[in-house]
Amino acid sequence: MEVDDLNSGELRDNTVYDKDNEKIATIRDVTGTPGHARQAILRTGGVMGFGGKDVAIPLEQFSVGPDGRLVLNMTEDQLTLLPKSN
C-alpha cells in the first residue's frame, strides 16, 4: 500500500514513526487531493497534545511499514527544526 493511495480521512490523526519505530508526530490534516501534490500537516513535539508546532511534509516522503504504520525517514529533532506551517 502506498501513502498517496490513502484519503485524508484515513491519514488524519494517525501517528507517524521514524525508521527506529519511535513516535515522532501525529498527522493533523492533509492538504490537496489524491493524484496531486499533497502534504501532511504534522504536529510535532509537545506533551499530551499540548505545545509543539505544525509542520508540512510532502506525502511522497512517507512510507507504510510492514505493520501498516506510517513511517518518515526523519527524527523528531529534525522535524522540530522545520519552519512552522501556516
* pLDDT digit string, tens, across residues 42-58: 998 766 556 678 999 99
What is the distance, to the nearest Å, from the Cα of residue 42 to the centroid of all Cα atoms in its chain?
5
Q: All domains of the chain, ordered by start, with CATH?
A: 3-81 (2.30.30.240)
| 6-13: average pLDDT | 90
Tell me which of 29 and 34 has the higher pLDDT. 29
Instruction: Give the global pTM.
Output: 0.85
Predicted local distance difference test score (pLDDT) of residue 52: 78
Predicted local distance difference test score (pLDDT) of residue 50: 63
Residue-averaged pLDDT of the chain = 87
Rounded CA-CA distance 54/65 in Å is: 23
